[in-house]
A and B are shown apart, each in its own frame.
Chain A
Amino acid sequence: MVGSFIETDLASIFETAVFAVQMLYTPSGGSPVLVTGVFDNEDVEVDHGDSSFIQRSAKLTCPSSSVTGIAVNDVFQQLDFDDEGLISSSTTVVVDLGFITATAGSSEDYGTVSDVGYGYTVAFIKDDGTGVVEIYMEAA
């Protein structure tokens, strides 16, 4: 359990107006929810002795409280902001993908989740113990 001041700080750190994005998180056997965090999908060099490879490495850093109970093989999906748009106001954030509408701060209707965007499964999780978790993902 982290202090409330840290929760306040985390809200600033994971502000979508700066670096954070929203991803659709579906726990195994659960319902999809929107999770806000910093998504890194950078190239890394993987060294295999005499040979090496350039490979994408996907990681979401987000508040632990938004993914309580997260487990390996849970599913994350990117939301396609470029095509569908992200509409935000002071009280609500609406992601409208046509077949999915999620409204924070009001009732949510995800409809049928069939194809949101590029998908990942959780490969492993690193909790820093101060309210932030790093979720390393495997491309689907």
Chain B
Amino acid sequence: MAHVRAQIRDAVVTAVTGLGATVTKSRFFPNDASALPVFLVYTVNESVDVGQGSGAATMMRTLSVVIDASAQAAESALDDALDAFAVSIETAVGGNTFSGLALETRLVSTEMNTSTDGNKPLGTVRLMFDVIYRTIRTNPSTTV
């Protein structure tokens, strides 16, 4: 069975699918701007708090999940387009426990990035969520 981190990543992809953009878990190769809008879902880091005393067998994990929502729009409409995606994503992901995989999911930061290097203004709103989940120390594939 896959690591819970991978299961959460897949669950986030499912949660944001159907919100008006192509969803992919990859961020490694450049994306074709003609295929925008796109949501890139990936995880960047995870902190672990090892349980003490009777809970020593468990690990409380806080996973940082990033969703980059990118779109092209006219200069005057780009920020609004990105914020519209932010509304959809925050609604779908914030507070979601992904069928019991997570104990809690909360938005921790939002970052806007825009550019006019190409022939259409292009922007990305980066939403970072903390997804808190717990596993047994010897089994990272199952939540408890």
A residues neighboring B (CB under 8 Å): 41, 44-58, 120, 123-124, 136-139
For A49, what are the chain B residues with a Cβ–Cβ distance below 8 Å?
Answer: 68, 113, 124, 126
Interface size class of B (residues with CB under 8 A): 20 to 34
Q: Which of B21-58 contact A (CB under 8 A)?
A: 27, 30-33, 36, 40, 42, 44
Shortest C-beta distance, A136 to chain B (Å), equals 8
In the A-B complex, the 7 residue pairs with the closest CB atoms: A55-B118, A55-B33, A58-B119, A139-B119, A48-B124, A52-B30, A53-B33
For B122, what are the chain A residues with a Cβ–Cβ distance below 8 Å?
Answer: 46, 48, 53, 55
* Chain A contact residues: helix, strand, loop or mixed: strand
* 6 interchain pairs, CB-CB under 8 A: A47-B115, A48-B68, A48-B124, A52-B31, A53-B122, A55-B120
A46 touches B118 (CB 8 A): yes
A123 touches B116 (CB 8 A): yes
For B64, what are the chain A residues with a Cβ–Cβ distance below 8 Å?
Answer: none
For B40, what are the chain A residues with a Cβ–Cβ distance below 8 Å?
Answer: 50-51
B36 touches A53 (CB 8 A): yes
Which of B116, B118, B122 has the largest count of A CB atoms less than 10 A from its CB?
B118
For A57, what are the chain B residues with a Cβ–Cβ distance below 8 Å?
Answer: 117-119
Option from B68, B116, B117, B119 in Cβ contact (under 8 Å) with A50: B68
Complex Cα distance, B122 from A56, in Å, reads: 11
Q: Is B70 at the interface (CB under 8 A from chain A)?
A: yes
Complex Cα distance, B113 from A54, in Å, reads: 16
For A120, what are the chain B residues with a Cβ–Cβ distance below 8 Å?
Answer: 119
A51 touches B119 (CB 8 A): no
Q: Is B95 at the interface (CB under 8 A from chain A)?
A: no
A53 touches B30 (CB 8 A): yes
Given contacts A138-B120, A139-B120, contact A53 B32 (CB under 8 A): yes
**Closest residue to B32 on the A side, CB-wise?**
A54
Q: Is B16 at the interface (CB under 8 A from chain A)?
A: no
Shortest C-beta distance, A122 to chain B (Å), equals 11
Complex Cα distance, B116 from A46, in Å, reads: 9
For A54, what are the chain B residues with a Cβ–Cβ distance below 8 Å?
Answer: 30-33
B115 touches A137 (CB 8 A): no
Shortest C-beta distance, A47 to chain B (Å), equals 8
For B126, what are the chain A residues with a Cβ–Cβ distance below 8 Å?
Answer: 49
A46 touches B66 (CB 8 A): no
Q: Which of B59-114 contact A (CB under 8 A)?
A: 66, 68, 70, 74-75, 113
For B32, what are the chain A residues with a Cβ–Cβ distance below 8 Å?
Answer: 53-54
A48 touches B113 (CB 8 A): yes
A44 touches B117 (CB 8 A): yes
